[in-house]
A and B are shown apart, each in its own frame.
Chain A
């Protein structure tokens, strides 16, 4: 595409199939303890 560059190809919809296993880290255990940040967390069920 001439006018658009897409940064990521992942579609969140597809994660409904295998998602929700809960093995990933609890968001508050990482560093924050005062906010809720999940966008930077890794999936452990790839």
Chain B
């Protein structure tokens, strides 16, 4: 499978199955377009065929010289022989076998507090309460969660624990105690905990920052961008905006972490479809690690991103990509999470195609110790998998998630992006279609655009 597109003056050809990416001139782009139209044929054979010559003459309409065309075809043939163009998908059986293997648990999302001091309008946790009552996790439950993780992690050395909420700083003492407990246990069991913290910053103070900078391998700081945008969606319960309170703390956090191993993370909605301005606002404040992501919500919500918003969002991504290239070349670049792509050292094909690991390697733990496939399923009683004392009891759910991968999803079969999104988010698929093996269509459209922009940026910076 080949996907080719034009962006910002670059002709980009993506050989999906090998992962090879080529920047080509107009002639090669046009020839490949013809080959794509005939992709059901054996490309190596077709390219040496007389029909191809006739088809090509009709297709190129005399725009190029014979010599140029000959050269271009020689180049294309070389790539095909080198297995970096029109390569076959040979991974299905491998991934199916890979997914059937005995899995271990390697990551937990600990819902340290089902409570929040903000009342963000788009919160999937419903102001932290996840369709239930306010609750905080006790140290005892948290300890059992870490014990459960260690006991179910097999030979896996690196274990991840995200302190999530609601707002985890509302239960900070338990977070601290669990980190201390985890550090003791990792020595005993020869494991390495990577703790992360996701916070709205309201309660962030000097003591918390000092501890977090020592112990948290990543901190996610929630902020949406420009003050008016942030305050509209992220007010306190009394309606007052939270921007002014958190921004100096976030700037300090980023500086103290040497502008690395953190993200300022925002959500954009229908109300700020010009979100590139929010990303650039954060960049102008000096943040170097930025993630601003589309809200995922039911169409009925007034802030929901709808299908008709997609063209404007595409324009925004293009605008942002160009500005990022400009700043990078000036020595003032920053990372935008959804444009980050590792072309050389990225993940293996097993990782790329096997899904996010929710329900198998990654589980969410409620304040009272129940296990769910991930943080987004918490509160959906049909997805209750077990608890930290007894472990995974509902193995049917685990097995359903175990087989969830790119090849289990019809919508992914002909999508070039499947090696970059791993089949998308199971929770989003469930929310929109009632099945974890479907896909959230608007999300897919945006994902494809982001990948195109990310690759274009690489092409521009490689010049």
Contact = CB atoms under 8 A, between A and B. Distances in A.
Given A6-B84, A13-B90, A32 B337 contact: yes
Interface string A1-40: 1111111111111011011101111111111111111111
Contacts of B164: 33
Given A11-B19, A34-B425, A39-B341, A24 B347 contact: yes
Give the interface residue-count category, chain B: 35 or more
B23 interface: yes
A6 B94 CA distance: 27
B9 to A, nearest CB: 14
B371 to A, nearest CB: 15
Contact of A36 (B24, B421, B455): B421
Contacts of A43: 345-348, 351
B346 A28 contact: no
Given A10-B344, A35-B293, A28 B104 contact: no
A15 B90 CA distance: 12
Given A11-B18, A20-B98, A41 B425 contact: no
B260 interface: no
Interface stretch (B131-139, B245-253, B357-365, B391-399): B357-365
Interface in B1-40: 17-25, 27-28
Contact of A8 (B83, B156, B344, B350): B344
Contacts of B87: 13
- Nearest 3 pairs between A and B by C-beta? A19-B348, A39-B420, A20-B350
20 contacts: A2-B75, A3-B25, A6-B21, A6-B23, A6-B79, A7-B455, A8-B21, A20-B354, A22-B106, A28-B107, A28-B362, A29-B107, A29-B196, A31-B291, A33-B375, A34-B294, A40-B454, A41-B351, A43-B351, A44-B158
